[in-house]
């Protein structure tokens, strides 16, 4: 200890105890409840302060200190798994200077400049155990020595192979993550259902993996990247680069962006490239992992009680911007959930201009204590969703007052309610104009009735001019009525009328999804339509009968039966029938046994010019194909559009058959 240190040992001990209490509380929120109350950067800063104190005063270190433990905690309700070989976390550095210090230290100790760089995936660490090539157990990292058994949940994730290409015994470790698109869909659905949104994709993935019901996990569209093994004697590889290649050959999903580097320039190039590209990736990353490449060096260097000495995580600085809250607007969704949104001075964040950020629900607004006139720190949760992390107390206006929570619907003035078990405020007036307007927009959307040209602005005008009251009213619109809309000429009116008329011929699954029944997504709607074949059968089905359809479950089944039990729904269906809307399933009820696509693993990549990705995926699945998100040796066919990227390159490398969009369209016409 230095004699000129500004703190005494007693003062350092007191400060350390305050930091430990904070960090343990935040870790419990993050790891156990999957709902952090502070940003990662706030936790990292406090953690580094504690590390500095304990470095200067080693006498104050306690066994319970967060610096002496591997991060995650286990849930008491899940079975436990003991890691024979501990699952360690990585040490963190927050600047290039610190990263170079780590590398220089290894270089001075005689280790050559031979590293493998990988992306630091923002997910949950998992371990997969195989016996004779068959998946037998999967677990979380937990506290590094004891994790949670989540085998049944992991079995629902498509990127995890149930059988390897070789009949070997092996334990593979990696990251389970939630793609950005899945994260956005999940939070939107949670808000519609009156549930608290997840703070970021990592917590969404953790919450999804720790479900007691695997069906819930299956719906969350999780994926994985594997990057290590518990015991190097289980593989033939001699370097980390070769290990990743070997894992891919065994059938695991490996992040394709890894790269060996042999100089400072190559390392800098990798760091700079992915700090720039991180926003364009389909998954979240929060840094770069740098590992010594020779696996023998890993064994030689070993690890501390918490982290390996042969690897380090370089964490990106959080991208934040300061802005001022000018207003808080309340909007009503199609399920009646009323959501506060902060309206701010526009700022550039992660390459886009941001002027609005959801405040999710009243509890969130109260917890963050956001007020009009506040200067706030803004970031993007999961690199995609604008979110306010905190207000800046020193810049709060002196006359500032807490923002009042509304009690009545901003659209229809009905009294708002909290339904049982919900944190959301909800308008339960079935004739609320805002809900009807949102419902009609959903009905016209691409995955529903696909009425081209009928977007939110046109829908708002239709309601404002009282030309429609519900979706059935669309089919009574006239040419002259449409001409009264702003910027609507004869061509626009004719095009919209044609699109509305075309929607009458849609298959039943589109109508079911378009009705906006709570919990019923596009995939569930298709499974239901395939089974019941017509609307009358669905309306007469009991909740128990619906629940049996492809194991949809009682939540979806109860929602459907409750919906069709209302007089309003029955009247709406009769009106749609009278308008000539098709009520039958027009697709193939069973997979053709002689289809070229039966049991084929197919990957779509790049931008399609004439077909939508969802349209192609649905058609392929109807033909019996399995549509996958990643290319591996098990992939049978890759269909490419414009700018196909790394998946196309990997398909070429593995000599996998490749079709362009033109060839696909020809085959689709022949099969139909």
| Residues annotated as part of the active site | 120
The span from the CA of 158 to the CA of 627, in Å, is 10
Vertex 569, ends 567 and 572: CA angle to 5°?
A: 110
**50 with 104: CB under 8 angstroms?**
no
At which residue do the structure tokens 């949760």 appear?
381
Instruction: Please provide the DSSP assignment of 587-608 as one string.
Output: S-SS--TT-TTTT-EEEEESB-
The span from the CA of 651 to the CA of 252, in Å, is 15
Bridge partners, 289 (sequence order): 118, 313
Spatial neighbors of 145 by CB under 8 A, at least 6 apart, are: 70, 82, 83, 86
The span from the CA of 34 to the CA of 123, in Å, is 12
Q: With b meaning 16 or more CB within 10 Å and e meaning fewer, what string describes 181-190?
A: ebbbebbebb
At which residue do the structure tokens 């701010």 appear?
344
Residue 273: both structure tokens together: 């490239």
Q: With b meaning 16 or more CB within 10 Å and e meaning fewer, what string describes 93-115?
A: bbeeeebeebbeebeeeebebeb
The span from the CA of 631 to the CA of 568, in Å, is 47
**89 with 70: CB under 8 angstroms?**
yes
The span from the CA of 126 to the CA of 142, in Å, is 9
Q: With b meaning 16 or more CB within 10 Å and e meaning fewer, what string describes 58-90?
A: eebeeeebbbebbebbbbeebeebebeebbbbb
- The candidate with the shortest Cα–Cα distance to 295, out of 218, 202, 230, is 230
Bin 350: left if φ > 0, else alpha if -120 < ψ < 50, else beta: left
The span from the CA of 604 to the CA of 660, in Å, is 10
Give the sign of the dihedral formed by CA 256, CA 262, CA 267, CA 269.
Answer: negative
Torsions phi, psi for 445 (to 5 deg): -65, 165
């Amino acid at each position: 200890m230095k004699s000129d240190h500004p703190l005494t040992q007693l003062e350092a001990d007191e400060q350390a105890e305050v930091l430990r209490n904070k960090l343990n509380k935040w870790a419990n929120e993050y790891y156990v409840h999957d709902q952090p109350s502070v940003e990662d950067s706030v936790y990292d800063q406090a953690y580094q302060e504690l590390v500095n104190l304990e470095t200067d005063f080693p006498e104050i270190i306690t066994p319970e200190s967060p610096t002496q433990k591997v991060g995650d905690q286990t849930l008491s309700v899940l079975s436990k798994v003991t890691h024979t070989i501990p699952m360690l976390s990585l040490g963190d550095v927050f600047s290039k200077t610190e990263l170079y210090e780590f590398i220089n230290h290894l270089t001075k100790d005689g280790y050559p400049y031979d590293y493998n760089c990988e992306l630091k995936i923002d997910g949950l660490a998992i371990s997969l155990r195989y016996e004779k090539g068959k998946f037998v157990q999967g677990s979380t990292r937990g506290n590094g020595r004891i994790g949670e058994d989540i085998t049944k949940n992991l079995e629902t994730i498509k990127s995890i192979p149930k059988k390897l290409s070789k009949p070997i015994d092996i334990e593979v470790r990696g990251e389970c993550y939630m793609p950005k698109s899945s994260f956005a869909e999940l939070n939107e659905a949670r808000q519609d259902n009156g549930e608290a949104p997840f703070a970021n994709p990592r917590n969404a993935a953790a919450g999804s993996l720790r479900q007691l019901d695997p069906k819930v996990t299956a719906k969350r569209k999780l994926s994985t990247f594997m990057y290590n093994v518990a015991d190097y004697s289980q593989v033939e590889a001699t370097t980390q680069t070769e290990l990743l290649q070997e894992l891919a050959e065994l059938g695991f999903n490996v992040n394709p962006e890894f790269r060996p580097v042999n100089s400072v320039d190559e390392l800098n190039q990798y760091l700079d490239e992915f700090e720039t590209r991180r926003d364009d990736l389909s998954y979240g990353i929060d840094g770069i992992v740098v590992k010594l490449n020779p696996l023998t060096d890993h064994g030689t260097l070993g690890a501390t009680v918490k982290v390996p000495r042969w690897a380090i995580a370089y964490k990106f600085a959080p991208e934040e911007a300061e802005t001022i809250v000018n207003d808080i607007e309340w909007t009503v969704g199609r399920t009646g959930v009323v959501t506060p949104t902060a309206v701010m001075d526009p700022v550039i964040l992660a390459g886009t201009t941001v002027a609005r950020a959801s405040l999710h629900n009243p509890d969130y607004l109260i917890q963050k204590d956001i007020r009009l006139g506040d200067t706030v720190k803004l970031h993007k949760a999961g690199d995609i969703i604008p979110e306010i992390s905190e207000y800046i107390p020193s810049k709060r206006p002196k006359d500032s007052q807490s923002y009042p929570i509304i009690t009545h619907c901003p659209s229809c003035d009905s009294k708002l309610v909290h339904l049982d078990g919900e944190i959301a405020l909800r308008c339960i007036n079935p004739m609320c104009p805002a809900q009807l307007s949102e419902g009609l927009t959903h009905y016209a959307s691409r995955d529903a009735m696909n009425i081209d040209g009928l977007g939110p602005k046109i829908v708002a005008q239709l309601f404002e001019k009282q030309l429609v009251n519900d979706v059935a009213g669309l089919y009574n619109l006239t040419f002259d009525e449409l001409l009264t809309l702003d910027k609507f000429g004869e061509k626009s009116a004719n095009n919209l009328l044609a699109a509305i008329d075309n929607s009458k011929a849609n298959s039943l699954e589109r109508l079911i999804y378009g009705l906006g029944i709570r919990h019923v997504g596009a995939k569930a709607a298709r499974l239901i339509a395939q089974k019941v074949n017509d609307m009358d059968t669905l309306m007469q089905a009991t909740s128990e009968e619906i629940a049996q359809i492809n194991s949809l479950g009682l939540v979806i089944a109860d929602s459907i039966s409750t919906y069709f039990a209302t007089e309003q729904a029955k009247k709406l269906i009769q009106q749609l029938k009278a308008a000539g809307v098709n009520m039958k399933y027009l697709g193939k009820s069973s997979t053709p046994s002689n289809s070229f696509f039966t049991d084929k693993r197919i990957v779509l990549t790049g931008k399609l010019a004439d077909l939508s990705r969802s349209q192609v995926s649905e058609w392929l699945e109807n033909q019996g194909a399995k549509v996958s998100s990643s290319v591996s040796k098990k992939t049978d066919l890759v269909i490419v559009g414009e700018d196909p990227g790394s998946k196309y390159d990997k398909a070429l490398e593995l000599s996998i058959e490749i079709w362009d969009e033109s060839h696909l369209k020809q085959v689709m016409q022949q099969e139909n």
